[in-house]
Amino acid sequence: MSEASPAKAYALHLGVIALLFALSFLLPEYYHGLLARIMVLAVFAMGYNMLFGYVGLLSLGHAMFFGAGLYGAGLAVIQLGWNVPAAFAVGLGCGAVLALIIGLLALRTTGVAFMIVTMMFAQVFYLLILYFAVWTGGDQGQVVPQPARVLNFGATSLDLTNPTVRYMSALALFSLVLLVTLATVRSRYGRVLVAIRENEERTKMLGYDTFSNKLIAVVVSGAICAASGAAYALLFGYVGSSFASVQYSILPLLWVLLGGAATTLGPLIGTLFMYYVIDVTSGYTSAYLLIVGVALILLVLFFPKGILGTIRQRWLGWLP
């Protein structure tokens, strides 16, 4: 990472946010709705990138953090009748606490063992959702009632089921997480994380407590993913176990690798790209998974660092 100019990096990110804001008024209805969803899921990918990209820890269990946010927020509304901000906080809290527990256990392992341990904890989480079907609705899931999905500020209220409100809420969350990520990776702490990724032993010898640093990263990553899950439940009105299945642990990995691991905008690009490929190809053939598969292999063969990673390597060295 070159240090050229922080202003350039911030300008780029603010530019992207401004572009997304402008798109809200330009996009046709369908893509408008789709982009709102993509921004929420890109937050999931950014949370994943925090751990995978910057600390180099490959987890196959991040669906549980997304799920914790999804169910934390969804059930707070459905079972307890709480309002939207409280429910969002519950989702976020659930994800952070879960990440802390999982981090304490799973960080005892590294490499492939870390991958498998996280996958197994996620599997346990998934099965618990099924086991407690009385509350969670099991695999069928539950609808978060439309009338409850409203933000009240005194006299005014924002209906989250309104497309524009939904888009702007998604954008707000996305922008916040994007800027937090950017600030984090540019901070001293971010550099420690990268140092751990590059050589954990040496970082330890330099006097850093690598375990605590990694643990913080797991919690931050888990909390961001949970924020995405909570937003998904509140904005799109459905909580279901399929979002906690292993497939949703693989998806953020794919999005991040496609967009470029350890790039701040890569998660958005990857999510956007994957959604767009599926959306377009599914219109032409029911065998779109074949095309997705081929696209993945071609990408990894010719853009091994992901889209943004390759761009950074070849042309724009200053890209964060």
Partner 1 sequence: MTDKNGFFDLSKTTLSRRTALKGLAAGAGLAVAPGFVRYSQAQSSAPIKIGFQSHRTGIGAAYGRWYEKTTAAAVKAINAAGGINGRQVEVIIEDDGTDPGRGAEVVGKFATQHKTDIVFGTLFSHVVIGSAPAAGEAKIPYFVVSEGHHVASTKLNRYVFQPGITDVKSQIQSMAPWIAANAGKKVTQIFPDFAFGYDHRDYLPPALKAQGAEVIAQIAIPPTESSFTKYFPQIPAETEVIYHVMVGPAVLTFVKELGEFYGSNRPQLFGFIDSLEAVDINSPGLEFLDGSHFWEGSPRYAQPDDSAAQKAYRAAVGIDDNGAAVGDPKDVSTAAHMFGCWETLYVVKKAMEDAGYKGPEDRAKLVEATEALTAFAEGPEHPQGPKTFNGKIHQCFGIQNISKVEGGKLKVVHKTKIEDGLYEAEGDYTKQAL
Partner 2 sequence: MHFGPHLLLAALEGLVTSAVLALTALGLSLVFGVMRVVNVAHGEFFMLGAVLAWAITTAIGGHPALGFLAALVIAPLIVGAIALIAERLVLRRLNYNPEATIVATIGMLYIIQQLALTFYGPEARPVEPPFNYRILLPWFGYSGYKLSIIAASALLLTATWLVLTRTRIGLIMRATQYDSETAQAFGIAVGRVYGGVFALGAMLAAIAAVLIVPISQAHYLMGQDPLLLSFIVVIIGGLGSLRGTVVAAVLIGLSDGIISMFFSPTLAKIIATLLVAMVLVFRPQGLFGTASR
Stretch touching partner 1 by CB under 8 A, among 91-99, 150-158, 192-200, 231-239: 231-239
Residue environment code for 24-45, b if the CB has 16+ CB neighbours within 10 A, otherwise e: beebeeeebebbbbbbbbbbbb
| Count of positions (residues) in the chain | 320
Nearer to partner 2, 18 or 127 (CB): 127
State the nearest-atom distance from the C-beta of 129 to partner 1, in Å: 10
315 binds, among partner 2, partner 1, none (CB under 5 to 8 A by kind): none
45 binds, among partner 1, partner 2, none (CB under 5 to 8 A by kind): none
State the nearest-atom distance from the C-beta of 282 to partner 1, in Å: 6
Nearer to partner 1, 147 or 207 (CB): 147
Of the candidate residues 25, 28, 153, 188, the single one contacting partner 1 (CB under 8 A): 28
State the nearest-atom distance from the C-beta of 7 to partner 2, in Å: 32
Residue 272: what are its φ and ψ, rounded to 5°? -60, -45
Q: Is 302 exposed, middle or buried (0-12, 13-18, 19+ CB in 10 A)?
A: exposed
Q: Bridge partners of 114?
A: none
Per-residue interface string for the shown chain with partner 1, residues 287-316, x marking contact by CB under 8 A? -xx---------------------------
Amino acid 29 reads: E
**Taking CB under 8 A as the rule, does residue 156 contact partner 1?**
no
Q: Which residues bind to partner 2, rule: CB under 8 A?
A: 58, 105-106, 108-110, 112-113, 115-117, 119-121, 123-124, 127-128, 130-131, 246, 250, 253-254, 257-258, 261, 287, 289-290, 292-297, 299-301, 304
Of the candidate residues 140, 157, 199, 212, the single one contacting partner 1 (CB under 8 A): 140
CA contacts within 13 A on the Cβ side of 213: 22
Q: Which of the residues 75 through 134 are near partner 1 (CB under 8 A)?
A: 127, 130-131, 133
**Element holding 48 (H helix, E strand):** helix 29-52
Strand residues in 119-276 grouped as ranges (E): 142-143, 150-153, 156-159, 238-239
**Element holding 13 (H helix, E strand):** helix 6-26
> Comparing C-alpha atoms, which of 7, 312, 21 is closest to residue 167?
21
- Which residue's structure tokens are 């209906």? 159
Contact residues toward partner 1 (CB under 8 A) are 28-30, 32-34, 37, 127, 130-131, 133, 137-144, 146, 161, 236-238, 240-243, 279, 282-284, 286, 288-289
